[in-house]
Chains A and B, each alone.
Chain A
Amino acid sequence: MSEHEYTPKSKAGKWFNDRLPLLTLGAHLTDYPTPKNLNYWWTFGGILTFCLITQIVTGIVLAMHYVAHADLAFASVEHIMRDVNYGWLIRYIHSNGASMFFLAVYIHIFRSLFYGSYKSPREVIWIIGLMIYLLMMAAAFMGYVLPWGQMSFWGATVITNLFSAIPLVGDSITTWLWGAYSVDNPTLNRFFSLHYLIPFLILGLVVLHIWALHVPGNNNPVGIDIKKPSKDTVPFHPYITIKDAFALLVFMIIFAGFVFFTPNVLGHSDNYIPANPLVTPAHIVPEWYLLPFYAILRSVPDKLGGVILMFSAIFILFVLPWLDTSKVRSAVFRPIYRQFFWILVIDVLMLGYVGAMPAEGIYLVLARVGTIYYFLHFIVVMPVVGYLEKTDPIPMSISEPVLTGGAEPSLARKVNDKV
């Protein structure tokens, strides 16, 4: 990975490192040359790692007190809130932590979209990241079922019922998922099991995500290839670690604000009503971070069509590196794409909003327009704009933002020749 050889100073260190080069790995991580112009949008990788660890640690403690049984789950959550020492704090960190996790991951994903971080040679980082995102959604959905409140139960019913749209085998698959003929105790048990498993899968993928990142190195706001190490880079420690720490602390202040002062504002009040299979809530809504996809699902009058479209909305992101035809990474130098990027951001926010509203009238119209634009953005706008757009001149290096050569031009030169 890095070009320089590392030799531990102490004899014992050398003896150990010859057998398992953990110290070399540590040295690689501290010295890792990082572009010096990374802005604060780049601090969310560290923040997300913090979120994952927080969820795992609080989750392990919660699991010591939680009872995964349809008759006892709701009461065991109240037991955690009332009788476990600081149980309320641990649970509120965990439940709000899920929201903070998604907030951070959405910023992380849109940062990648803006600066073209998914493009060659970083496609594998992007794809692993999407796999993490998919697993996060699965973990969050199953976690929301565990308190066994009304939204838990009916959310689980709606989402598992989606699989019944599959032709021929749909009903059998749904029954198999439930382990019963409806969402019931076996469903709760398996969701708990999987909810405990998935974070560790995510942790493994995070290791791969970072490994894949350390092969080409970080993209940067200018989006050009840089020579590493050079005057364009800084060692990861202390420069990036201290900056990540600062950003993380700001993030934690917001996080603490939710946990201590409005711990239930992101949840639905119906989830404090114990699950009742005989009473359907007036509006079944998922957690906020799944709302855009819920809006896409409901925008199609046909159940199977809606399901296909909803899953396509996620899976289309996997082929994004090949849909984007532009040779320039960063939207900073792409005046046309940049406008479309912000339209996409508004589009997704709008889909999220109408996802929380009843699927009728103006909301249904907005959901349909939003869904169509979402797909147009990836299928039409990205390839076409990439071909037609006249990009702004690109600097040769980070240190010299003017076009005077130097550093490693590679990508920059190619594009400037075209311009």
Chain B
Amino acid sequence: MIKSNIKLLVLSFLLIISFRPLQSAEMVDPIKVDWSFKGLTGTFDRASLQRGFQVYKEVCASCHSMQYLSYRNLGEPGGPEFSEQEVKAIAASFEIEDGPDSQGEMFTRPGKPSDKFKSPYPNIQAATAANGGAYPPDMSVLVKARKGGANYIYSVLVGYEDPPPGVTLDDGVYYNKYMAGNKIKMPNNLMDGLVEYADGTESTVDQMAKDVTTFLAWAAEPELEERHKTGVKVIIYLVLLTILVYLSMKKIWSRIDTEV
């Protein structure tokens, strides 16, 4: 009786769920990419992370901040895993404002691995003013902050198109198939051959979009690899313990006439 009721329950719930709203015409589901970091044991592609950092540094970083990351993160396990020397060199290539010194003056010095990523603008207002009234969002947790995650970010990067007939765009507004509302103030910054990858990979738009999205996915979830590894161990441990406790329970309850 209860079983058939539960069946009925599940069926009616599925029925309700299937009443999805008709997709509004211009919104397109993001492209599904088979990311290496997907799934229960997913890990980041180290080479892709390093290339992605290069794209970020040479293209995105001129407008987008990544204020919650430090240069040292680039050398930590589970990330791009640059060597210590490389991390120091990357950090030192930025001029960081520090201070005040003993005279009360602010000064600049070469960056250290412990410094946070240098932001391109001093504040949100400056960033907004410099970008036609649209604030380029901080990219530290961007992948977690968008429905669709990495698939969505990648789709937007490759989703620039000419507007369909009848759609007129203001100056500094671009048409993007995957962006909510299809209007985006970020121009299409990726062109084939834009960056020169150190490892010789051909820098097509698709390749750069994938690499930089991988990098952003790591930036948003730097703990992902450790989380997956720990999770598998925790689940195995819990399952074994559950079996042991189940057998103990059966044994204890066998003393009386009731089933468990």
Contact yes or no, B242 A88, CB < 8 A: no
User: Is A260 a contact of B242 with CB atoms below 8 Å?
Assistant: no
Q: Tell me which residues across on chain A come within 8 A of B144, comparing CB atoms.
A: 264, 269, 272
Q: Report Cα–Cα, A295/B34, bound state, in Å.
A: 37
Within 8 Å by CB of B241, from A37, A243, A249, lies A249
How does the 8 Å CB contact mask read for A207-243 relative to B, with 1 for contact and 0 for none? Answer: 0000000000000000000000000001000110011
Q: Let me know if A353 and B21 touch, CB within 8 A.
A: no
* Contact between A234 and B256, CB atoms less than 8 A apart: yes
B242 & A250 in contact (Cβ 8 Å cutoff): yes
**Is B231 located at the chain interface by the 8 A CB criterion?**
yes
Number of interface residues of B (CB under 8 A): 49
Question: Is A362 engaged at the interface, CB distance under 8 Å to the other chain?
Answer: yes
**Interface of A, helix, strand, loop or mixed by DSSP:** helix
Q: Which residues of the other chain, B, contact A36 by a CB distance below 8 angstroms?
A: 256, 258
> If the complex has contacts A78-B141, A353-B16, are A256 and B252 also in contact, measured as CB distance less than 8 A?
no
Task: Say yes or no: B13 contacts A346, CB within 8 Å.
Answer: yes
- Are A245 and B245 in touch, CB under 8 angstroms? yes
Q: Is the CB of A88 within 8 A of B223?
A: yes
Q: Using CB atoms, name the residue of chain B closest to A273.
A: B145
A366 partner residues in chain B, CB cutoff 8 A: 16
Instruction: Please determine whether B140 and A89 come into contact, CB atoms closer than 8 angstroms.
Output: no
Contact of B228 among A234, A239, A260, A358 (CB under 8 A): A260
Which residue on chain B has the smallest CB distance to residue A282?
Answer: B180
Total chain A interface residues with beta-carbon distance under 8 A:
47
Interface readout for B1-22 with A: 1 if CB under 8 Å, 0 if not? 1000100110011001101010
Q: Mark B247-260, 1 if CB is under 8 A from A, else 0.
A: 01100110011101
Question: A89 touching B230 by the CB < 8 A rule?
Answer: yes
Cα A88 to Cα B221 in complex, Å, equals 9
Whether the pair A243, B12 counts as a contact (CB closer than 8 A) is no
CA separation between A249 and B236, bound complex, in Å? 12
Q: How far is the CB of A251 from chain B (nearest CB, A)?
A: 10
Min distance, Cβ A180 to any Cβ of chain B, angstroms: 21
Q: Are A243 and B17 in contact (CB under 8 A)?
A: no
Nearest residue, chain A, Cβ from B237:
A256
Q: Are B8's CB and A269's CB within 8 A?
A: no
Set A37, A79, A252, A349: member contacting B16, Cβ < 8 A: A349
Q: Which of A96-114 contact B (CB under 8 A)?
A: none
Whether A269 and B145, one on each chain, are in contact in the complex, defined by CB atoms closer than 8 angstroms, is: yes
Residues of A close to B258: CB separation below 8 A: 36-37, 234
CA distance A419 to B246 in the complex (A): 41
Bound state CA distance, A127 and B59, in angstroms?
60
Contact present for A349 and B13 (CB under 8 Å): yes
Contacts of B8 in A (CB 8 A): 342
Q: Using an 8 Å CB-CB cutoff, how does the interface string of B118-159 with A read, 1 for contact, 0 for none?
A: 000000000000000000011011001111010000000000
Selected A-B contacts with CB under 8 Å, 15 pairs? A36-B256, A82-B69, A234-B256, A242-B249, A242-B253, A249-B242, A253-B239, A263-B227, A269-B145, A272-B220, A282-B180, A346-B13, A350-B13, A361-B21, A366-B16
